[in-house]
Amino acid sequence: MRAKQVATSNEGITLQQPIVCTRLRAKGAWVAYGEPVGWNAGYVSTAVFWCLATADSLGPDSGFVHPHACVAGRRCFCDKRADI
């Protein structure tokens, strides 16, 4: 899974969030949850995710959508702007 560096904690541990599919959306995605982890890291327990391709919590491959699942290697993964 590709990931981008987000921040370095006080203990020197590099925290990363995955590069997720551009079709992944979340309720509250533009809400500031604070650093070092953003909504697309998948650690916000109250987040609701859906796919723009299906408008559902299941992707085109019938798998659940979540930042930990919608990453490179998934058959329906898209890392450029969705043409929907």
| 68 touches 15 (CB < 8 A) | no
| 76 touches 59 (CB < 8 A) | yes
Query: What is the Cα gyration radius of the chain?
Result: 13
Q: pLDDT per residue over 12-22, tens digit each?
A: 666 566 788 99
Whether the model pTM is above 0.75: no
DSSP-derived letter for residue 71 is B
Q: Per the structure block, which two tokens stand in for 18?
A: 């995955």
Q: pLDDT per residue over 33-67, tens digit each?
A: 555 556 677 777 778 899 999 999 999 999 999 98
| 37 touches 65 (CB < 8 A) | no
